[in-house]
Amino acid sequence: MTALAHLNPHQVGFPPADRALRDPNGLLAVGGALTPQWLLCAYSNGIFPWFHDDDSHIMWWSPDPRAVLKLDEFKVSRSLRKRLRNGGMAVTFDQSFSKVVDGCSAPRADANGTWITPAMRNAYCQLHQAGFAHSVEVWQNTELVGGLYGLSLGRMFFGESMYSRVRDASKVALYCLVMQLRRWNFDLIDCQIMNDHLASLGATSLPRATFLRVLAATLRQPTRSGPWVYEADPYAGTS
């Protein structure tokens, strides 16, 4: 069995992603640091961080298979079409990044605790300030009722988390993100690990080797960094 790598926090770098342990989530390494440099290196190599219970141990993962959402395979349900037309929701990009992360990290009825620790929050907020991490906000009147966040490299968006305070708000956020990424000729959204909810939205699984090849190709394209503005037609395809 492949040995788990232990990373020196003062030397940015990872072993190849295909050396991850043969467990369901693909644990690759422990250690390193949560800085923009470490995170950009990780995502560029098909790796992402998770914590279990606290900030004491950074764990880096590269699952096999990898859940992805191909932009032309996103499923728009009848109820979501109705919500888009009649739900009274407005969508913005990159207007309240830290508040979206806070919403994603809030306790949920179907989960114990959160993996978005204070160190994780700070790291992604730094990535946002550097122009690599982005948020989608969903509003009713002036109230933030849902959204999602992740980061972008090349022509891939790496989804991290989403949340809703009213029904379908996170789906509205994802729909609008998909529409905008199509407009910008992105390739796909990385969803990390498959679950029933992602499958219902059209996500599929790729072997890790295939995902890494797609990632390498998309990274040859320029990264759309800096603040994002939502430009797509929110009602396109909802009739």
Q: Can you give the CATH number for the domain in which 59 is found?
A: 3.30.70.3550
Band of the pLDDT at 54, cuts 50, 70, 90? Answer: low
Range of the domain at 35: 5-65
Residue 112 has pLDDT above 50, yes or no: no
113 and 19 in one domain?
no
Give the pLDDT mean for 3-11: 92
DSSP reduced 3-state for 67: strand
Beta carbons within 8 Å of 177's beta carbon, 6+ residues apart: 136, 148, 157, 189
51 and 167 in one domain?
no
132 and 204 in one domain?
yes
CA atoms of 139 and 146, how far apart (whole Å): 7
pLDDT of residue 237: 47
Give the count of domains, the chain. 2
Query: Could you tell me which residue, 136 or 50, shows the higher pLDDT?
Result: 136
CA atoms of 26 and 209, how far apart (whole Å): 13
Whether the Cβ atoms of residue 83 and residue 172 lie closer than 8 Å to each other: yes
DSSP reduced 3-state for 200: helix
| 32-37 contact pairs (CB < 8 A, 24+) | 32/7, 32/8, 32/58, 32/60, 33/9, 33/58, 34/58, 34/119, 34/120, 34/122, 34/123, 35/123, 35/126, 36/123, 36/126, 36/127, 36/130, 36/132, 37/12
The label of the residue with tokens 């395979």 reads 73
**Residue 228 falls inside a structural domain:** no
Residue 168's Cα: distance from chain center in Å?
18
108 and 61 in one domain?
no
151 and 202 in one domain?
yes
118 and 140 in one domain?
yes
Give the pLDDT mean for 112-136: 88
According to DSSP H, which parts of 45-151 are helical? Answer: 78-86, 97-105, 118-129
pLDDT of residue 227: 96
210 and 104 in one domain?
yes
pTM listed for this prediction: 0.92
CA atoms of 150 and 209, how far apart (whole Å): 22
Min mean pLDDT across 6-20, 97-111, 156-170 is at: 97-111
| Burial of 129 per CB tally in 10 Å (0-12, 13-18, 19+) | exposed
pLDDT tens digit sequence for 130-172: 999 999 999 999 999 999 999 999 999 999 999 999 999 999 9
Give the pLDDT mean for 91-118: 82
CA atoms of 158 and 40, how far apart (whole Å): 11
